Every structure is written in C-alpha cells, then in structure tokens.
Amino acid sequence: MTDRPSRLRKFAYLGSIAVFLFTVFFSQRHLNHQREVLGLTRNIPLENAPPILAFTTKALGGFRGLIANALWIRATELQENGKYFEMVQLADWITKLEPKLTAVWVHLAWNMAYNISVKFNDPADRWLWVKRGTELLRDEALKYNPREPNIYRELAWFYQHKMGHYLDDAHQLYKVEWAKEMTALLGKGDFNFDRLISPQTPEEIERARKLREQYKLDPAFMKRVDERYGPLEWRLPESHAIYWATYGLEMTKDQKLRQEEFIGLRRVIFQSLQLAFMRGRLVYPDKSGNEFVYGPNLHVIDEADKAYLEMANLEADKRDNILNAHKNYLGMVVYHLYTHNRRQAAQQWFNRLKEMYPGANTIAGKPVENLEDYALSRIAEDVGETDPNRVKTIIMGTLENAFLQFALGDSEADIVAENHVNFARRLWQRYMTEISRYEKNIVRVGLPPFNQLYEETLKGVLSPEYGLDAILSAQLRTRLNLPADYGVSTNEPPAEATAPSATTPAGPATR
Amino acid sequence: MRRILAIASLTLRAAFRYRVVLVMALLLVAGVIVLPLIIKDDGTARGFTQIILTYTLALTTTLLGFATLWLSCGILAREIEEAQMQMVVVKPIARWQIWIGKWLGIVALNAMLILLAGAAIYTIMQVRARNLTAKEQTILQNEVLVARKVAMEDTPDYEQISRDLIRERLQHEAPPEGLSIPALQTIIREQLKSRDQLVQPNQRRIWTIQVGPPSEVRDKPMTIRVRFDPPVPDLGERFMTFWEFGDLATKTQFETNFVMPSEAFVEFPIPPNLINDKGELHIRFDNRNEKALLFPEDGMQVMYRIGGFGGNFARGLGIVFCWLALLAALGLAGATFLSFPVAAFCTIGVLILSMSTGTLKQIIEENGIVAVDPNTGRVEETKVVNTLAVPVARGLLNTFNLARGFSPIDNLSSGRAITWTDLSQAFFQICILLSGGLAAIGIAIFTRRELATATK
C-alpha cells in the first residue's frame, strides 16, 4: 500500500528536476550573458594568460591572496627603505597572483610612475620608472583585463598628466623621449596612417609591427581618432591620452552598469583636446631633437568644442560642470585666436560664447561687448598666470602679431610691432622672475630663452604652411634683415638667424 | 679527532651516495643561471645587478637552509629509528663524537655547496659587468661591486637618558598630575629625539661623524647617503637642500645644493680630504624650506671604499655559512630526541619564530602584551602576563639577534663592507655561542637517550 504513493512521489521529484533543469538550461545562458553585458562578473576566467600564470592562479587557489599580501608587504618595506630595484619584479608577481584585481594594477603602476620616479634626481632614471608604470598597464593589465574602464582611464591619465603636464621636474625629458620614440615610428610631421594599416615595404611592415606589438597601438584606430579629433600631433603624449581613452570607451561601451566609470575616460578626452589646442603643435628648434617648443594646434578647436558638448549630453548629471568647463574653454579660444591674429575666427567664437552663455563676457564684473576689449582683458588676467603653456602661447601669439605688423612695412605698423615685441619680452621676464623665486621651478616650469621663442615664431610666420602673402613675407624678411630663404624649412634653424638679445631695449636687434 | 672525522666522512659519503650533493648542486647552479633570465629589473645596470645578487644569494641561502634542516633532522633521527645508530654506538666511540662528527659532515657539505653557488654567482656578476657601457661599469664599480665602510653619528640611548632625567627631576619635584611615569618618559624620550632629528625651517643641523683614521681615508672620495622625511608624508614632495662639508677650522670645505626627494635615501659624492685631524667629518645642513624636516637615526651616513667586491662577497658567504652551521646544529639537536617528521616540523617552526622578531620587539617596546595604552603606545599597568612576557621576549630576541644581527645579502647588494671583524663576530656568535649551546643540549640528550626504545 505504501509503495505506490512513494513511487509517485519519486516520479514527481524526477519530473520537477527535469522541468527545473530544462528551465535553467535556457535561463542560465541568458543570465550569464546579462552578467557579462552588465559587467557584474568578477570571476570570469583569465584569458590570454601564459601557462605559468594560468597554473599559478588555479593551483594556489585562495592562498595566492596570502602570498600576494606577503609580497605587497615586502614591496612596501623596501620602498620605505628606498630600495626600488625589486619593485618591478614584485609588481610582476603580485599582479600575476591577482591578475583580475584592477585596483592592484592601477596602484602598482601609479606607484612606479608617480611615487618611485620622483625619488630619483636623474631625469633619465625617472623616465625609466614612468615607462615601467605605463608598460605595466598597457602591456600587462590590459592583456588580462581588456574590458576594464579604470585601467584605460589610468593609462590615458599617465599620458595626459604624468608625461603631458608639467608638474614633474623631469616632464620635459619625458616629452622629448616620447617624441623620439614616436618619431622613430611615425616620422616627423604628417604621417600616412594607410601605410601603417596596409604596410608595403619591409620598413613599413617593421614599423607597423612595432606599433602594434610594442606600443599596442592599432593604426586603423589611430586613424579613426585622428579623423574624429585631429589632426593630432602623435609625437605628443596628449594624443595618446586621447587614443587610450577613446579606445577604452570603445572596448567597454557595452557594460551598461559601469557608465559612472566612463566619465573619467571622457574627461581625459576633452581635457587632452584642450591641452592639444593650447600646445599641440611640435616645433623642433634643433636637429638633435633633444629640445623643442610647442605651438598651439588651432585645428582642434572645433573638435574640442564638439567633445565638450558631446560629453555634456552623455553625462546628464555632470552636465552643468562640463558646460561650465566649456564656457571657460570658449573664452580661452577667443583670446588665443585673437592673440594669433585670427580675428575673424575669434569674433565668431566670441559670438558663440555670448550666445551660448549670456553673461560669460563679463570681466571683473563688467560686461565686455567688444572682441578686442575682451581678448585684452583676458591677456591682462593671464599676465599673472603661472601655467607655462598658457604664458608661452600668449608670448608666441603676441610675437606673431608683431611680425605681421612688421610685414606691413609702414612706420605706424612698425611702432605697433615694436610694442608687441616689448610686451612679449616683458611678459617673458615677468614670468621668469616670478618663478625664479624657487630655484627648482626654473627647470620644471621655465620657458625657453626669449630669443628661441622669437626665432621659432618668426620661422613659423615665414613658413609656407602659414600662408603669408609672398609680398608681405618678402617685406618682413627685408624689414628684419633676413636672408631670402629664411623660414622655408620650419625644422632647421638657419645659421645666420638672429633674434633680439634679452638686453636690447626694443625690437629686433638685426634692424 | 680521528673518530669524529670518520663519522663526518661517513656522513659526507652518505650524502653523496643518496645523491643529495648532486641534486643540491644542480638546483643551486640552475637557480643561479635561470634566475637572471626570468627576473624583471628596473632597467638600470645597477638595479639589475642588485636584484640578481639579492635573489641568487637569497635562493642559495633558502635552498641550503631548508636542505640543511631536513638533512640534519633526517640523518640522525632516521638512523636512530632504523637502528643503524645502535650499530655505531656499540663501537668504541663516544656519543658526543658521533654528534659532532655528523655536524661537521653536514657543515663540510654546506661548505662545498656554498662555494659552488658562490663561484657561479660571482662569475655571472663579473661576466654581466663586462658587457656594460663604461658609464654603467663605473657606477657598478663605485656603488655596487664594492665594499664601502659606513660611518654614522652615534645614536644616544634615549631610553636611558630619559629615565635618568626623570629620576633626577623626581628627586626635586613631584610628578606632573595626570601623567604616569612611563607616559612622562615617553614624552621626554620623544622630545630628545625631536631635538636631535628635527630641523626646523631656517635652522641648521650639524653632524660630526667619526669616519676613520685620517691616514686610512686620505685621498678617498666619499659618498653621502642621506634621507629625511617631511612632517606629513607626501611621497611626491621634493625639497631644496643646502649642504656644507668640512671642519670650519680648516681650509678644506665643500658646498653643494640640490633638490632632493623626501622619504628616500639619496646618495651623492663629496670630494676627498674633508675630514679633520681627528678623523671627523663635519656636515652642515641648512633647512631653508617652509617645512621642518626629520632626519631618522640612520638618515645621515658617510661611506667610503675600503675594498673590492671579491673579498666582501667571500666574507658575505662566510656569514651565510655560519647560519647554515647553526641550522645543522638545530636540526641535529631536534633529531636527538624527536622522530624525523616531528623534528623537521619543530625546527622549521623555530626557524619561522626566529624570523618573527617584529612581534618580540613590539612586546618589549610596549612593555607587555595586554592593556596597552593607545595614547602612549605602552603598557601602563602591571600585570602578571606582562611581567612574564617582557623578559621572555627580550631573552628570545637577544638570542635570535645573535644570528640575525648580520645582513650579508643586503650589505652585498648595496655595496657596504662586510669586514673581517663582522665575520669573526658572526663566527663567534653563531658558530660558537648559538651552535655550541645547541650542541651541548643535543649531545646531553643524545648521550642519555635509550636508543633501543626508539627503534620502529
């Protein structure tokens, strides 16, 4: 009597199991997919790992955390005692034990690039550590975590801030070294992306291989970035910041729950575009390439503008902050264009500023309607500025104006031009005096000699790319006693090029 | 002696027969050769050399250390368990001679292996150094592959001074209200340290360092190794520093100034012949920054070359050898009264305990284990546990420090001299005192042990 209900119950159980398994079969796949899409999975299998790493992570199981902790403690102790020679190896082991923990990668890379590098007095030693930190993220962290926005953000930040900014005493060396490496790969000036996307010659094949394998740069994606935001100067670090931030967004865009983390990537893009606008043009003053000066990259104004607005639309909760930054950016565009003698464009951007942000044309509490007054007010504000990029841009813009006045060839314009040169020199002296109060500032944020800025600006104005009318160019050369071919080659200083000495009271010394 | 040597020879032969020597030799040489191929360095020749030296020596010490413990436990305990020892002890040989013979056999084995590993490491270092550029070679020869003597200012015994000051004060006046004597002592000790170590803005700090006899250091260029910390840690902070070297009473002076990172040791050279007739180097530092800077106790060091790498390396290996001799004694002492697995487990436990001296130091510094006052960082109440813990911890720490007070690997990789005095001291403390003590214990137990009952 008892057998039958028992058997029925067993069948019912089996039937339930079958139904549940059948349901799970369909729902599990969907759930797994959703977990991946929403970025909820933390224990996804390690991909691209070499056998030793795959073995270590499996074989040690939970104990690897303990070993990683012990290594971490050792690394900290060594660092406190000023012993850095083991740091790269310890970082390698720690990250191999915990390859999926983003914070570990980010911390160790930051430690090398920011904390350890500054402990060395020799800039060449520092550069090694900045490179090590960058390589740890770019070559290792992204290999195992290709969908982690924070790693892309950190990498882009290293390019934008550590190499691109000027807070580190050795920043100039970082830029020079990076420019050398990129020049070896991409050449000087405009370079052809298509030749690296589909290389033909052995030399192009080798360069494309190095670009992909050593620097992890995809030429096709570089081209997309350049078309979207450029033309960019790829020898400067901020272009690479834009690349990695854009690439990070591309690689992680389908993780809907991680939208908050994308804002960091987007910020890098528009901040780097702003930097590229202010000093995104590279001019080599000598053949060695050991030093260079920058000029503003006025080509990226439109793209930076679009980027700001795009970011503002995408980040609804940060919209006000981004638009505020955009307002400041437009103000900067107006006066940089003005100081670079692009008055028509400056007027257009000034109108846009007033239109988009009524009241933004207020300086010191008073509305300024006239472009000229607005630009001059901004310049007056900037005289007290301590950002070397901004001050250098103003000096070179003022000198550019001066040369255009000289080119007119009449006495009245001569007076205006001399005033411009005097103003630029005063600005340079004031800035250098200001920063010289602390000796270390001279190396860190010092400007190139005034003569050098003068010469570079003059060469820029006379270069064919600038497009100065042939007659005006000739008048300018005559006015400044320059040879007929002066400024034709923008990358080589002519032997007889002369510039006013710092002690000359006014105007070019060659007159 | 003949009997002891016979036992030692038998131990060695057994090690060869069981291929212990072959396996260890292969492991050591392979490790020394393979490590440089897989280790990631910081990109400089100096960093590469330092990490290779550190890792290969650490690998050698670790491998030989564990092998020594294992072998010494096994060689005695197993012979007892398998009744082979009974065959030996019935012969005309004292048990202490058996014990010493076995210890000497293991020590001789270690000597051979350490020589082999040392030769491999030395050869690799020299070969790598030859391939470097002239500039890198100079750095290596002056800073890493070198033996530099380190001189520092004597550190006062702040603990004792503060104790004396309090005692003196208490003779004349009552203790301050609300402050216990230990708390008061802590405050005075820290004030004394601050007086010596802290350099306030716009103040000068003067060091007088006894470097060495003038005849010994004449014409020798010197290196200053210095470190300071800002009041609030900030890893990226750098400060302008102004330095003067030389006795103001003499004509020979040297001045330099440069930007220096905080919280890191920085080395820079100074010219020779700046010391005075007494062999002292006077150093003056002006803090013209807006923040006070704190120089830790070892924050100002003067280094000068007293020898080459070869001799230093050999002496460093000598200290490692002393450690191994101690481990052999420890293993044999354990094996005299424990079975092989238990002896191995216990001796490795002792080894790990000896590495945890941080906890012992903390007990001594905090003056106990329980009821530590979070404000003063010290125990303020007398409790039985604390009364017992402190002398035990102090005793253990002092014992362990007899062996741990030497850093041959660290010294070799940072180019600091390991002198003959250091080596002699290591030999006395480790081989005579510690190993001797363990040998006495081991021999005493072994002599009294009834071996027949231990047979499986």
Residue B389's nearest CA partner among B354, B363, B351 is B363
Query: How far B39 CA lies from chain A's nearest CA (Å)?
Result: 6
Residue B188's nearest CA partner among B169, B214, B208, B211 is B169
A161 touches B at CB < 8 Å: no
Give dist(CA A394, CA B17) in Å, integer: 83
By Cβ distance, the residue of B41, B227, B259 closest to A85 is: B41
Task: Please tell me what DSSP assigns to residue A187.
Answer: -
Whether residue B240 and residue A119 make contact (CB cut-off 8 A), yes or no, is: no
Give dist(CA A13, CA A6) in Å, integer: 11
Interval A372-398: pLDDT, tens? 777 766 766 655 656 777 788 888 888
Q: What is the 3-state secondary structure (H, E, C) of A79-118?
A: HHCCCCCCHHHHHHHHHHHCCCCHHHHHHHHHHHHHHHHH
Chain A hits for B35, CB-CB cut-off 8 Å, are: none
By Cβ distance, the residue of B39, B51, B236 closest to A118 is: B236
Query: What region does A289 belong to: left with phi over 0, alpha with psi -120 to 50, or beta?
Result: left
Q: Are B29 and B113 in contact (CB under 8 A)?
A: no
Q: Is the pLDDT of residue B149 over 60?
A: yes
Q: Is the pLDDT of residue B264 over 90?
A: no
**pLDDT score for A72:** 84
Whether residue A440 and residue B238 make contact (CB cut-off 8 A), yes or no, is: yes
A492 band by pLDDT with thresholds 50, 70 and 90 = very low
**pLDDT score for A380:** 60
Average pLDDT on A362-370 reads 73
Q: What amino acid occupies position B430? A: I
Of A72-81, A171-180, A436-445, B62-71, the range with the lowest mean pLDDT is A436-445
By Cβ distance, the residue of A87, A115, A128 closest to B44 is: A128
Q: Is the pLDDT of residue B322 over 90?
A: yes
Chain B hits for A125, CB-CB cut-off 8 Å, are: 44
Neighbours of A267 (CB within 10 A): 21
Residue carrying the six token digits 């362990």: B400
A440 touches B at CB < 8 Å: yes
Dihedral of the CA atoms A101, A103, A106, A108 (nearest 10)?
-90
Chain A hits for B413, CB-CB cut-off 8 Å, are: 85
Q: Are B58 and B320 in contact (CB under 8 A)?
A: no
Percentage of residues of chain B with pLDDT beyond 90: 22
Backbone dihedral angles phi then psi of residue B308, each to the nearest 5 degrees: -95, 180
Chain B hits for A114, CB-CB cut-off 8 Å, are: 235-236
Q: Exposure pattern of A429-449 as b/e (b: 16+ CB <10 Å)?
A: eebbebbeeeeebeebbbbbe
CA distances for B370 relative to A136, B56, B392, B397, angstroms: 45, 41, 15, 19
Query: How far A152 CA lies from chain B's nearest CA (Å)?
Result: 23
Q: Are B105 and B19 in contact (CB under 8 A)?
A: no
Q: Are B197 and B287 in contact (CB under 8 A)?
A: no
Mean confidence (pLDDT) of chain A: 78
Whether residue A132 and residue B42 make contact (CB cut-off 8 A), yes or no, is: yes
Query: How far A110 CA lies from chain B's nearest CA (Å)?
Result: 12
Chain A hits for B266, CB-CB cut-off 8 Å, are: 82, 119, 121
End-to-end Cα separation, chain A, in angstroms = 123
A121 touches B at CB < 8 Å: yes
Give dist(CA B259, CA B279) in Å, integer: 29
Interval B83-112: pLDDT, tens? 888 888 888 888 899 999 999 999 999 999
Q: Are A319 and A312 in contact (CB under 8 A)?
A: yes
Average pLDDT on A440-461 reads 82
Whether residue B236 and residue A169 make contact (CB cut-off 8 A), yes or no, is: no
Query: How far A235 CA lies from chain B's nearest CA (Å)?
Result: 23
Average pLDDT on B61-81 reads 89
Chain B hits for A92, CB-CB cut-off 8 Å, are: 40
Give dist(CA A354, CA B102) in Å, integer: 94
Give dist(CA B6, CA B180) in Å, integer: 64
Average pLDDT on B343-370 reads 84
Peptide bond into A231 cis (omega under 30): yes
Kindly identify which residue of chain A lies nearest to residue B258, measuring between CA atoms.
A440
By Cβ distance, the residue of B40, B55, B265 closest to A82 is: B265
CA distances for B453 relative to B76, B331, B449, angstroms: 15, 21, 9
Whether residue A125 and residue B266 make contact (CB cut-off 8 A), yes or no, is: no
ipTM at complex level: 0.72
A474 touches B at CB < 8 Å: no
Q: Is the pLDDT of residue A33 over 80?
A: no
**pLDDT score for A505:** 29
A508 band by pLDDT with thresholds 50, 70 and 90 = very low
Percentage of residues of chain A with pLDDT beyond 90: 6
Whether residue B41 and residue A119 make contact (CB cut-off 8 A), yes or no, is: no
Q: Is the pLDDT of residue B236 over 70?
A: no
A37 band by pLDDT with thresholds 50, 70 and 90 = low
Query: How far B44 CA lies from chain A's nearest CA (Å)?
Result: 8
Of A139-143, A155-159, B264-268, B370-374, the range with the lowest mean pLDDT is B370-374
Whether residue B43 and residue A115 make contact (CB cut-off 8 A), yes or no, is: no
Question: Which H or E run includes A366?
Answer: strand A366-367
Choose the mutation target among A56, A73, A81, A86 for the interface with B, i.e. most B CBs under 10 Å: A86
Chain A hits for B358, CB-CB cut-off 8 Å, are: none
DSSP sequence for A478-510: HHTT--TTTTSSTTS--TT-----TT-SSS-TT
**pLDDT score for A491:** 45
By Cβ distance, the residue of B51, B236, B240 closest to A115 is: B236
Kindly identify which residue of chain A lies nearest to residue B262, measuring between CA atoms.
A119
By Cβ distance, the residue of B240, B258, B264 closest to A119 is: B264
Choose the mutation target among B37, B40, B226 for the interface with A, i.e. most A CBs under 10 Å: B40
Higher-pLDDT residue of A13, B126: A13
Q: What amino acid occupies position A132? A: R
B29, HSE (Cβ side, Cα atoms, 13 Å): 13
Mean confidence (pLDDT) of chain B: 85
Of A107-121, A285-299, B137-151, B201-215, the range with the lowest mean pLDDT is A285-299
Q: Is the pLDDT of residue B234 over 60?
A: yes
Whether residue A115 and residue B235 make contact (CB cut-off 8 A), yes or no, is: yes
Interval A115-138: pLDDT, tens? 888 878 788 888 888 998 999 999
A85 touches B at CB < 8 Å: yes
Q: What amino acid occupies position A480? A: L
A51 touches B at CB < 8 Å: no
By Cβ distance, the residue of A82, A120, A125 closest to B227 is: A82
Higher-pLDDT residue of A455, A254: A455
| Residue B147 bridge partners (DSSP) | B307
Q: Are B286 and B242 in contact (CB under 8 A)?
A: yes
Query: How far A193 CA lies from chain B's nearest CA (Å)?
Result: 32
Interval A392-423: pLDDT, tens? 888 888 888 788 878 877 776 677 677 678 77
Length of chain A: 511
Interval A246-273: pLDDT, tens? 999 888 877 776 777 788 888 888 888 8
Q: Are B304 and B217 in contact (CB under 8 A)?
A: yes
Kindly identify which residue of chain A lies nearest to residue B296, measuring between CA atoms.
A81
Q: Is the pLDDT of residue B185 over 50?
A: yes
Whether residue B238 and residue A92 make contact (CB cut-off 8 A), yes or no, is: no
A441 touches B at CB < 8 Å: no
A376 touches B at CB < 8 Å: no
Query: How far B331 CA lies from chain A's nearest CA (Å)?
Result: 27
Give dist(CA A112, CA A120) in Å, integer: 12
Task: Please tell me what DSSP assigns to residue A463.
Answer: S
Q: What is the 3-state secondary structure (H, E, C) of chain B?
A: CHHHHHHHHHHHHHHHHCCHHHHHHHHHHHHHHHHHHHCCCCCCHHHHHHHHHHHHHHHHHHHHHHHHHHHHHHHHHHHHHCCHHHHHHCCCCCHHHHHHHHHHHHHHHHHHHHHHHHHHHHHHHHHHHHCCCHHHHHHHHHHHCEEEEEEECCCCCHHHHHHHHHHHHHHHCCCCCCCCHHHHHHHHHHHHHHHHHEECCCEEEEEEEECCCHHHHCCCCEEEEECCECCCCCCCCEEEEEEEECCCCCCCCEEEEEEEECCCCEEEEECCCCCCCCCEEEEEEEECCCCCEECCCCCEEEEEEEEEHHHHHHHHHHHHHHHHHHHHHHHHHHHCCCCHHHHHHHHHHHHHHHHCHHHHHHHHHHCCCCCEECCCCEECCCCHHHHHHHHHHHHHHHHHHHHHCCCHHHHHHCCECCCHHHHHHHHHHHHHHHHHHHHHHHHHHHHHCCHHHHCC
Kindly identify which residue of chain B lies nearest to residue A128, measuring between CA atoms.
B43
Q: Are A230 and A299 in contact (CB under 8 A)?
A: yes
Kindly identify which residue of chain B lies nearest to residue A82, measuring between CA atoms.
B264
Provide CB contacts within 8 A for B86, sequence distance 6+: B451, B452, B455
Chain B hits for A71, CB-CB cut-off 8 Å, are: none
Higher-pLDDT residue of B56, A338: B56
Q: Are B208 and B304 in contact (CB under 8 A)?
A: no
A493 band by pLDDT with thresholds 50, 70 and 90 = very low
Q: Is the pLDDT of residue A345 over 60?
A: yes
Query: How far B82 CA lies from chain A's nearest CA (Å)?
Result: 36
Kindly identify which residue of chain A lies nearest to residue B45, measuring between CA atoms.
A85
Kindly identify which residue of chain A lies nearest to residue B290, measuring between CA atoms.
A438
Q: Are B45 and B139 in contact (CB under 8 A)?
A: yes
**pLDDT score for A14:** 92
Task: Please tell me what DSSP assigns to residue A285.
Answer: S
Percentage of residues of chain B with pLDDT beyond 70: 98
A504 touches B at CB < 8 Å: no
Q: What is the 3-state secondary structure (H, E, C) of A237-264?
A: HHHHHHHHHHHHHHHHCCCHHHHHHHHH
Whether residue B264 and residue A82 make contact (CB cut-off 8 A), yes or no, is: yes
Average pLDDT on B248-275 reads 84
Distance from chain centroid for Cα A66: 38
Query: How far A2 CA lies from chain B's nearest CA (Å)?
Result: 58
Task: Please tell me what DSSP assigns to residue A318.
Answer: G
A96 touches B at CB < 8 Å: no
